């Protein structure tokens, strides 16, 4: 156990003004990945690099793609087997229509204890908090057994190229536990939903809307697919039940396009329709089973609609090829993550939360994927996701973070690292 005096020393060493200042500096840098507008993560990465160098950390800048870099900040505190990773991303999503904002999305304005701006919540505030936590531990000089590495990564909001590059270059090889710094409102999240995204393509034959018998309409197959997805969702909910932290599994058709490209016209029956489905899974489901179900749904739909057209042909006495194509293609397959609640990284976070807030920590799950998904899936790294910020606020207008909660989060991060790396903690 960490002596009380060290805990107090670390809590006191976190300077709230420093957390606010670094957060504001990062928020004021527009790091939306938008090649047309000419904005990218690079200026935010440069700022973190300069800051970390000034703190005396070992640093490395890795270019992931032009204008998109990861910054790796290392504090090799002392000899030891453990390396704790803090992960935070530099990219933010677009502010959208600026006139819809009451506050400047890149202003970092503080009003009534809340800082407003894009990224205050997701996740520049938490990024600043994790960096300050590292700096505080370094300044106090408390002996630690092991290292802390900060992965300040690009492209979390889209393809997660940053974390994949981080792993590819071997930075994750020595990491034994990771804290994913994302807005979870002070909760300790030990699980994340998985995702399967798929595209169904239905191929029929084009015709004039006034002469539908001259073609083969794709619409009945799309309806059949949607019904099938609803049935799969109901069965999944029945068989798995509700996950205590992650809620219900879902099979959500999100996009229906017919024709998939070009302008639709009311009097044209398009030859092709596309249906996109966004499936979110809980650990009780097997992705392999879901993929098999979706493949079967495509095949069954093809057969059912063919029978429908065969019957129609017979009834109307027409000779027409009744066969339409229904196929499914998998776009994304990201596994659920579930870290053992007894893992040392979870225990470290638990004790840190108790020390700062004097509460029984609240445990939860993350509804979406994060960079942590890759660390867990590709490198078997135990992860916890935690940080300041209301969970509903990311990606909204007038995004905000509670400044007090953010400063406490820096303390929780610092104490988590202290607990995890304190000499003797690994024994």
In the complex, the residues that contact Zn ion under the rule CB under 5 A are 122-123, 182
By beta-carbon proximity to Zn ion, the closer residue of 48 and 229 is 48
Toward Zn ion, which CB reaches closer, 165 or 182?
182
The least distance separating Zn ion from the CB of residue 303, rounded to whole angstroms, comes to: 43
Q: How far is the CB of 88 from Zn ion (least distance, A)?
A: 8
Alpha-carbon distance 163 to 186, whole Å?
23
Q: What is the distance between the alpha carbons of residues 339 and 317, in angstroms, rounded to a whole number?
A: 62
Whole-number Å distance between alpha carbons of 14 and 95: 30
**Nearest-angstrom CA–CA distance, 189 and 380:** 17
Query: Which residues, including other chains, have CB under 8 Å from residue 96's CB and lie 6 or more apart?
Result: 397
Strand partners, 365: 191
The residue to which tokens 């300069």 are assigned: 50
- Residue among 355 and 412 whose Cβ is closer to Zn ion: 412
Q: How far is the CB of 273 from Zn ion (least distance, A)?
A: 34
Nearer to Zn ion, 182 or 402 (CB): 182
Tally of CB atoms within 10 A around 331? 12
Minimum Å gap between C-beta 32 and Zn ion is 13
User: Pairing state of beta strands 383-386 and 177-181?
Assistant: parallel
Choose between 190 and 217: whose C-beta lies nearer to Zn ion: 190
Least separation in angstroms between CB 147 and Zn ion: 24
In angstroms, give the least distance from the CB of 161 to Zn ion: 15
SS3 72: strand
The residue (of 42 and 123) whose beta carbon lies closer to Zn ion is 123
* H-run or E-run covering 281: strand 272-281
Compute the distance between CA of residue 350 and CA of residue 187 in angstroms, rounded to an integer. Answer: 10
Rg (CA), the chain: 25
* Least distance from Zn ion to the Cβ atom of residue 394, Å: 6
* Between 81 and 158, CB nearer to Zn ion: 158
């Amino acid at each position: 156990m960490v002596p009380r005096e060290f805990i107090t020393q670390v809590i006191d060493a976190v300077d709230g003004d420093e957390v606010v200042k670094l957060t504001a500096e990062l928020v004021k840098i527009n790091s939306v990945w938008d090649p047309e507008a000419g904005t990218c993560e690079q200026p935010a990465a440069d700022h973190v690099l300069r800051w970390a160098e000034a703190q005396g950390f070992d640093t490395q800048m890795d270019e992931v793609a032009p204008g998109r870099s990861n910054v790796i900040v290392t504090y090799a505190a002392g000899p030891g087997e453990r390396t704790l990773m803090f992960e935070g991303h530099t990219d933010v999503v677009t502010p959208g229509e600026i006139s819809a904002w009451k506050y400047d999305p890149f202003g970092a304005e503080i009003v009534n204890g809340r800082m407003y701006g894009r990224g205050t919540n997701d996740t520049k505030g938490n990024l600043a908090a994790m960096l300050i936590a590292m700096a505080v531990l370094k300044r106090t000089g408390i002996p630690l057994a092991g290292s802390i590495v900060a992965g300040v990564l690009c492209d979390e909001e889209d393809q997660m190229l940053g974390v994949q590059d981080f792993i590819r270059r071997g930075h994750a090889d020595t990491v034994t536990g990771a804290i994913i710094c994302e807005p979870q409102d002070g909760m300790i999240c030990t699980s994340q939903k998985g995702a399967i995204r798929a595209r169904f393509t239905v191929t029929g034959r084009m015709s004039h809307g006034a002469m539908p018998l001259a073609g083969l309409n794709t619409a009945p197959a799309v309806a059949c697919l949607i019904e099938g997805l609803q049935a799969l969702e109901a069965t999944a909910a029945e068989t798995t039940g509700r996950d205590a932290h992650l809620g219900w599994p879902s099979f959500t058709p999100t996009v229906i396009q017919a024709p998939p490209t070009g302008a639709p016209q009311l009097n044209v029956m398009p030859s092709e329709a596309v249906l996109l489905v966004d499936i979110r899974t809980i650990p009780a489901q097997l992705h392999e089973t879901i993929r098999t179900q979706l493949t079967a749904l495509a095949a069954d739909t093809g057969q059912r609609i063919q029978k429908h057209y065969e019957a129609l042909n017979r009834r109307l006495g027409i000779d027409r090829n009744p066969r339409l194509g229904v196929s499914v293609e998998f776009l994304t397959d990201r596994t659920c993550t579930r870290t053992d609640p007894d893992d040392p990284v979870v225990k470290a976070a638990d004790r840190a939360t108790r020390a700062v807030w004097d509460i029984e920590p609240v445990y939860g799950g993350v509804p979406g994927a994060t960079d942590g998904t890759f660390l867990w899936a590709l490198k078997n790294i135990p992860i916890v996701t935690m940080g300041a910020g209301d969970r509903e606020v990311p990606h909204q207008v007038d995004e905000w973070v509670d400044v007090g909660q953010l400063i406490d989060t820096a303390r929780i991060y610092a104490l988590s690292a202290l607990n995890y790396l304190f000499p003797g903690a690994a024994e």
